Amino acid sequence: MNDESGTERYLRLTVELTVEVLDIGALQTAALKEINDPETDLDDDERKEQAEMVSADDSGATALQWLIEPDHVLGLIEHVEQIEPREAVLSVEPSDGPSDEDDDDHDHDGHGHGHGH
C-alpha cells in the first residue's frame, strides 16, 4: 500500500551492541587481512594508512569496523518489504563495558523483542 499523501516518512533505527574483545591480536590480524585483500578497493597509500590505524588502535575498534559487512547490518530489515534503506552510518568506539541496567529488563520501550529470531 503506497502512501498517497506525497509526504515521505523516515524512521531512524538505533542499535547498540557491546562486545568484549577476546583476542586483540587476532582481531587486528583479521582486519589487516581484509585491508590487504586485493579485492579491497584501496590504493597502496590508503592500504598502508589503514593498516597503521588498525595496528595503532589498541582498543580494537578500528579493526572491528573493518570486519563488519554493511550487508549484515542491512540484514536486520531486509525482510521488511514496506521500507527502503536510505542511509546507514556505523561507528565502533571503545566502551567501559556493558551498562549497569537491570539485565532482566531488556524491554525498555514496552514493544518487546520481535519474533525471537
Question: What is d(CA 19, CA 114) in angstroms, rounded to the nearest whole number?
Answer: 22
User: Whole-prediction pTM value?
Assistant: 0.72
What per-residue string of b and e applies to 69-95 under the rule 16 or more CB within 10 Å gives b? eeeeeeeeeeeeeeeeeeeeeeebeee
* Average pLDDT, integer, range 41-53: 96
What pLDDT digit, counting tens, does each position of 22-35 carry?
999 999 999 999 99
Residue 85 has pLDDT above 50, yes or no: yes
Give which of 47, 23, 44, 21 is closest to 34, Cα–Cα: 47
Residue 104 identity (one-letter amino acid):
D
What pLDDT digit, counting tens, does each position of 87-116 carry?
888 889 999 999 876 554 444 444 444 444
